[in-house]
Structure 1
Amino acid sequence: MTDKVLRIGTRGSLLALKQSENVKTALQAQWPELQVELQIIKTMGDKILDVPLAKVGGKGLFVKEIEDALLNRSVDLAVHSMKDVPADLPDGLCMGAIPPREDPRDVLVASRGQSLSHLPEGARVGTSSLRRAAQLKKLRPDCAIESLRGNLDTRLRKVREGMYDAVVLAAAGLHRMGWEDRITCYLDPDVFVPAIGQGAIGIEIRSTDEYLQRLLGPLHHTDTAVAVRAERALLKELQGGCQVPIGGYATVSGGMVELTGLVASLDGQEMFRFTRSAAREQAEALGRSLAGEILAAGGRRILEEIYRDGAA
C-alpha cells in the first residue's frame, strides 16, 4: 500500500462529516495501512441559508465546489448524499462506489411527539423541500407549511425551541447521527414518496483513477446502485433537480427493480404518481419510461408552470 494520504472532500456539517468519517473507517477497515484525511469544502448551498432552496436556483448547490476540487486534484474523492447530486456528473468524474443504503424514508419530528395525522389544526411544519411541502399540503392542507433551512442539528433545535410544531427530515441522517430517538413517526413511501437517492451515499472520484476504483470496490453495494440508477434515470428524464416537487423511490428484489415516481403541483392538489417494475438490468430504461409516462399524464405541464413562474 502506498504512503500517499487520500483526501476526502466533504461539506462541513455534522452529518456530512459523519458520513465522510464512515467512509474513511470503511476504507481503513479494508486497507489498514491506508492514510485518509478529511478536507472541508464550503458549497454554495452552505453559504446561502436565508433563501429557500427553490429560490436559489441552479443545480449542484451542495456538490459543485467539491467536484471542482476533485477536478483540480485538491482532493482525491468526495462523499455526497446522493439526493444532492445532479442527474449528470461533470466530464471526468464518476461514482466510484455506492455503499449500502440507509433508511430512505422521510420522518416527522414533532415537538409534542404527535404523528402527522395527529398534529393540531394549523400546526407550523418546517421543510426546505418543495417535494415534502407538496405532499404535506395534500395530506394535511390545514397545516401551515413554512420554509426551513439549516443543518440537521439546527432544524432539530428549532423544533425543540418551539419555532415549529414539527419538521420533516430524512430518516437516514438521524440514523447516521444516532439521533433516532428524536423521530416521532416514519412516513411510509407508499404514502410519502422520498427524494431521489435519499438515504444513499455516493463516493465520487476521477474517472481515470483506477487505483481508487480498486480500493473502493469492497464498499460498493450492487442492489443499492441499481435502485439509485433507476431513480436517477427518472430524475434525468424529468430534467429536475432537488429544488422541484419530484420524488422517486426504487427497491430491488431478486432479479427485479420496482420504481415509484412522483411529480406534484406546489399546492399538492395535483399529483402524478405511478409505480412500475422491470428486470434489474433494465433499471435505467425503467426510470426513463416511467418519467415519460408521468410527463405525458400531466407532469410536464406542472413542471413547465413551476419553472415559468420562477418557483424553482
Structure 2
Amino acid sequence: MTTGAIRLGTRRSALAMAQSGQFAAALERVAGRPVELVQIVSEGDTSRASLSQLGGTGVFATRLREALLAGECDLLVHSLKDLPTADAPGLLLAATPVRADARDVVLTRDGIPLAALAAGSRIGTGSPRRIAQVNRANADVSVHDLRGNVDSRMQRVRDGELDAIVLAAAGLSRLGADIDLRLEPQDLAAWPTAAGQGSLAVETRDDVDDELLAAIRSLDDPATRFAVTVERTILSGVEAGCHAPVGVHADVVDGRLSVRAAVYGARPGDEIVVDHDEAVGEEYIRPQGSGDGADSARRVVPERASAIGTVVAGRLLDRGASDLVSPSTTS
C-alpha cells in the first residue's frame, strides 16, 4: 500500500485553490493519504490579454497538463469548462464529482435586473456566449471585456466602473466569497451556459497506479459525467471551441435527460436552439462499485452520452449552426 502524499496540481488563483482544496479533502478521506497542492502557473494566469486573444480558456489547461505528464504532480483538478473537448494523449479524465450550480449570475450594486438596466449601462464579460446573451436580454447596454480574479471583478462594480458583471454561480459558491452585491441568477432554459460549467474535472496520467485511480473514481458522480459528456460532445460536434458563442446545458432528473443547446449569431434573433429529452437507463447514472465490471460500466456511460450529444449536434448543424460559429473562436 502506498503511503506518501498525493500531489494535486492546481492553478494558483483563489478559485482554483479553493476547489482543488475541497477535492483534496475528499480524496484524503477515501485514499487514507495526505494530499498536497502543487501550484502551477499558466500563461492565462500571467497575461492580461483577453481570453479570446489568448485562444480560449484551454490556455489554462495546457501548462497544467504538461506538468502532469512530466511527473510534477499526480493529478489535476480543473474547472471542466476550461478543458478543450479533444482528448489529451497520455491523460485520463478520471472523475467528475457532483456538479455545483451551473447557472450564470448577473451582479449589480442595486439589484436592477439585467433586462431593466438603463441604456448605456456597462456590463463586464469577456465571453462571446455571455456577450450574445447579454445583448439578447438588453440590447441597449454596453459590454466591456472583463479579466482578473473574482474579487477584482466585483470591485469594478462596487467602484462604479461597471454597472454589472456576469460570473458563474459555482465559482462564487466554491470561493465562499463575501458578496455585498445583488445577484440575479439566470434561468438555464433561457440562458444555457458553457459546456461543463459547474463541474470539476479530475485528470490523471493513463498509467496511474490502480490504488490512486480507484480512490479518485470513488468520487465520480455518474449522472454528472453523463450530462457533461453530452454537453462537451455537442460543443465538439459543432466544431466550436470552449470560448465560442455556444450555450449548452444537460441535466438528468428522475431518470430523464433534458438538453438545451443554443448557438448565437451576431444579432439578437440570429440564433439556433435545439431541445432534446429522453429517458436514461439506470445503468448509466447509478454509482458503480469496484472491479472490472464497474470499470466497463464507467466506459459505457460516455459512449451512450456521446451518442446523444452527436445527435443534438447534428440537429444544430442541419439548421446552420456552423455558419454562426466563427473559426477564430475555436480551440
Give the TM-score normalised by the residue count of structure 1. 0.93
In the alignment, which residue of structure 2 is the partner of 1:298? 320
CA shift, 1:59, in A, is 6.5
CA shift, 1:8, in A, is 0.7
Using the alignment, how far apart are the partners of 1:64 and 1:23 within structure 2?
21
For residues 107-133 of structure 1, give each alpha carbon's deviation from its aligned partner in whole angstroms, at most 9, with x where no partner exists.
010122222123222110000110000
Using the alignment, how far apart are the partners of 1:22 and 1:183 within structure 2?
26
Contact preservation (8 Å) 1:257, 1:283: no
CA shift, 1:92, in A, is 1.2
Using the alignment, how far apart are the partners of 1:239 and 1:47 within structure 2?
28
Contact preservation (8 Å) 1:231, 1:248: yes
Within 5 Å, give how 1:80-159 maps onto structure 2: 80-159=78-157
Q: What secondary structure is seen at the aligned counterpart in 2 of 1:189? A: coil
CA shift, 1:58, in A, is 5.8
Using the alignment, how far apart are the partners of 1:266 and 1:43 within structure 2?
31
In the alignment, which residue of structure 1 is the partner of 2:234? 234
In the alignment, which residue of structure 1 is the partner of 2:17? 17
Q: What secondary structure is seen at the aligned counterpart in 2 of 1:219? A: coil
Q: Which one is further off, 111-120 or 197-206?
A: 111-120
For residues 63-105 of structure 1, give each alpha carbon's deviation from its aligned partner in whole angstroms, at most 9, with x where no partner exists.
0110111111111000000000110121111111111000000
Contact preservation (8 Å) 2:109, 2:182: no
In the alignment, which residue of structure 2 is the partner of 1:247? 247
Q: 1:268 to 1:311 in 2, by over 3 A?
A: farther
Contact preservation (8 Å) 2:105, 2:185: yes
Using the alignment, how far apart are the partners of 1:13 and 1:59 within structure 2?
14
In the alignment, which residue of structure 1 is the partner of 2:294? none
Q: Which one is further off, 121-130 or 271-280?
A: 271-280
For residues 205-258 of structure 1, give each alpha carbon's deviation from its aligned partner in whole angstroms, at most 9, with x where no partner exists.
111212321111221111111101110111111222222101110000233321
Using the alignment, how far apart are the partners of 2:119 and 2:56 within structure 1?
35
In the alignment, which residue of structure 1 is the partner of 2:273? 273
For the aligned residue pairs, the C-alpha RMSD in angstroms reads: 1.7
> Counterpart amino acid of 1:86?
P
For residues 26-71 of structure 1, give each alpha carbon's deviation from its aligned partner in whole angstroms, at most 9, with x where no partner exists.
1112234x1211111111221222x221222266211011011111
Q: 1:183 to 1:38 in 2, by over 3 A?
A: farther
In the alignment, which residue of structure 1 is the partner of 2:46? 47
Using the alignment, how far apart are the partners of 2:162 and 2:319 within structure 1?
36
Using the alignment, how far apart are the partners of 1:36 and 1:220 within structure 2?
18
Match of 1:65 among 63, 81, 85: 63
Q: 1:48 to 1:219 in 2, by over 3 A?
A: same
Using the alignment, how far apart are the partners of 1:135 and 1:47 within structure 2?
28
Q: 1:125 to 1:86 in 2, by over 3 A?
A: same
Contact preservation (8 Å) 2:51, 2:57: no
Using the alignment, how far apart are the partners of 2:42 and 2:267 within structure 1?
30
Using the alignment, how far apart are the partners of 2:269 and 2:185 within structure 1?
23
Q: What secondary structure is seen at the aligned counterpart in 2 of 1:229? A: helix
Structure 2 regions of 5+ residues with no counterpart?
285-303
Q: 1:29 to 1:311 in 2, by over 3 A?
A: closer
Using the alignment, how far apart are the partners of 1:14 and 1:180 within structure 2?
13
Contact preservation (8 Å) 1:136, 1:268: no
Identity rate of aligned residues, in percent?
35
Q: 1:297 to 1:253 in 2, by over 3 A?
A: same
Give the TM-score normalised by the residue count of structure 2. 0.88
CA shift, 1:184, in A, is 1.7
Q: Aligned pairs, how many?
A: 306
Using the alignment, how far apart are the partners of 2:127 and 2:57 within structure 1?
14
Using the alignment, how far apart are the partners of 2:329 and 2:211 within structure 1?
43
Structure 1 regions of 5+ residues with no counterpart?
none
